[in-house]
A = this chain, B = another copy of it.
Amino acid sequence: MDEFSFINAIKPNTYNQPALIKGIGDDAAVFRSTSDIVTTVDTFVEDIHFSLETMAPFHIGYRILAANISDLAAMGAEPAFYLVSMCIPKKWKQSALEEIYQGMHELASMYQMDLIGGDTVSSERLMISITAMGYVPENKARYRSHAEPNDIVFATGTLGDSRAGLEILLQGQECKDKDYYIERHRLPNPRVALASGLCEIDRVALNDISDGISSEANEIAEASNVELTIIEEKIPVSNSFQQFSKEQQYDWKLSGGEDFELLGTVSEVHWPRVQEIAVQTDTPIQQIGYVREAEEPCVLIQTHGETKKLMKSGYTHLK
């Protein structure tokens, strides 16, 4: 691979963000902001976090950037910039690498996000690390520590779809809505519009569902020092999700992860307004539980009236 022609191929010709002063081409990029700046980094390794067995290079790029944008959304931020660092094995062709960048670019352009920097080095295994940056209005960053007793707990979209898509790809099995599940796995859409829309609400606790709600709910409970109860029947799933076995449904919706939906809590007073904003931003949303004072922070799951403790791993045990 010719590094020079590769960098020229992936370098943007134009930029979208008005705040950008200097993009790629100097020692560093420069931008200006009157909002608070949110920044996160996520690293992905071939055959650990993604595989050509289940995805084209385009999907790899799309999905990796989606994971980063989802972190920004979970902070209430609008995506603005990204930097990509790649370790590239010799066996990867330039055309396939360019496809990865096209996948990122496809998603980035939905948000007028600009690629403003990066680095490529050689390595045995493909590794991609993305630093994403976004804006949030002053003091409107959404923390997982902001849940309070008597909040309602909500989730967006449907859960478990990404994991279902992965299993379908790995097992090669036929099933209803096969393409839908596969797309949910390969091309997830972070909930940026809702997260931004919520900025008028004073207090919202938010996490994105990257590891499954069992993990995310526990993070909110711990950070906010509250008890969070999830009602299993209320966890939103796709219409044809019941075609999978009971064990799969339970496992995938609680711990499947990578749906990049949002899990949040908000006061009962603001819940009707949150639902309106969800309608305006075309975001399916559902109350799935409630928050209570805790002696020690924990997550409970109620199934047909029976309550168990839900661990980060998705494992449950009697209270």
Contact = CB atoms under 8 A, between A and B. Distances in A.
Contact of A121 (B32, B36, B48, B144): B48
B74 A43 contact: no
Given A83-B41, A208-B27, A123 B117 contact: no
Nearest to A119: B43
Interface string A1-45: 000000000000000000001100111111111001111111111
Interface in A217-268: 223
Given A22-B141, A28-B39, A39-B116, A45 B122 contact: yes
A87 interface: yes
The count of identical subunits is: 2
Contacts of A81: 39
Contacts of A25: 223
A203 B83 CA distance: 27
A127 interface: yes
A118 interface: yes
A49 B36 CA distance: 35
A38 B29 contact: yes
A116 B119 CA distance: 20
A45 B85 CA distance: 12
B48 A117 contact: no
Given A26-B74, A41-B83, A127-B127, 8 more contacts: A22-B143, A28-B40, A28-B71, A32-B37, A43-B87, A44-B121, A121-B127, A124-B124
